[in-house]
Amino acid sequence: MTTVNNIILDDNQIRQKTKRIAYQIYESNSNEKEVIIAGIQGNGMLFANQLANILKEISSIDVIICEVFIDKKKPLNSVSTSLSQDDYKNKPLVLVDDVLNSGTTLIYGIKHFLDVPLKRFKTAVLVNRNHKKYPVKADFKGISLSTSIKEHVEVIFDKKNSRAVLM
């Protein structure tokens, strides 16, 4: 049996959606001197870096990148970040991942940041699948998909041929 992979976003569409999300982040933080872009390790961090690069191009806001370390298979394990709490305390922060499926990864990422007072907290994802197990939403999203639970979305970040695939 062969599986058919359907491309739901091609390289150009990913670039367009990333740019649109970066503009939305800029609009919601236009009065700020700096913003923290916190990418969940792996693809979330790759997506966060792309957003940060565009934000640096389109705004004068100081963009600070933070990597969030979460064991996606065991999210109850401790969550850590590449920045200290003092580095993001009382600042606007956007938590970034590539795909929002059940919300498990995002909710445990959010839980980590609740220990520190933030000026503003938002979430951004490239693909929102709408299979929420937790009451978490993406404030900024590239595309929303209605998929079956059995289907899987994978984002492949590649310098020349990034794509989001439904399997």
Residue 163 placed within a domain: no
Residue 103 placed within a domain: yes
Residue 80 placed within a domain: yes
Q: How confident is the model at residue 92 (pLDDT cuts 50, 70, 90)?
A: very high
Q: How many domains does the chain have?
A: 1
Q: Is 33 within 8 Å of 3 (Cβ atoms)? A: no
Determine the Cα angle at 153 with ends 20 and 120, to 5°.
45
CATH number at residue 68: 3.40.50.2020
Distance of CA 33 to the CA centre of its chain: 21
The DSSP 8-state label assigned to residue 82 in this structure reads S
Residue 86 placed within a domain: yes
* pLDDT for 2 beyond 50: no
Show Cβ contacts of residue 15 under 8 Å, excluding neighbours closer than 6 positions: 162
Q: What is the 3-state secondary structure (H, E, C) of 85-140?
A: HHHHCCCEEEEEEEEECCCHHHHHHHHHHCCCCCCEEEEEEEEECCCCCCCCCCCE
* pLDDT for 62 beyond 50: yes
Q: Which residues pair with 100 in a beta bridge?
A: 128
Residue 53 placed within a domain: yes
Alpha carbon distance 7, 120 (integer Å): 34
Residue 77 placed within a domain: yes
Domain span at residue 58 reads 13-26+33-145
Alpha carbon distance 133, 136 (integer Å): 8
What pLDDT score was predicted for residue 30?
Answer: 94
Residue 162 placed within a domain: no
Alpha carbon distance 103, 128 (integer Å): 10
The mean per-residue pLDDT over the stretch 63-86 comes to: 90
Residue 94 placed within a domain: yes
pLDDT digits (tens, 9 = 90+) for 7-48: 999 999 999 999 999 999 999 999 999 999 999 999 999 999
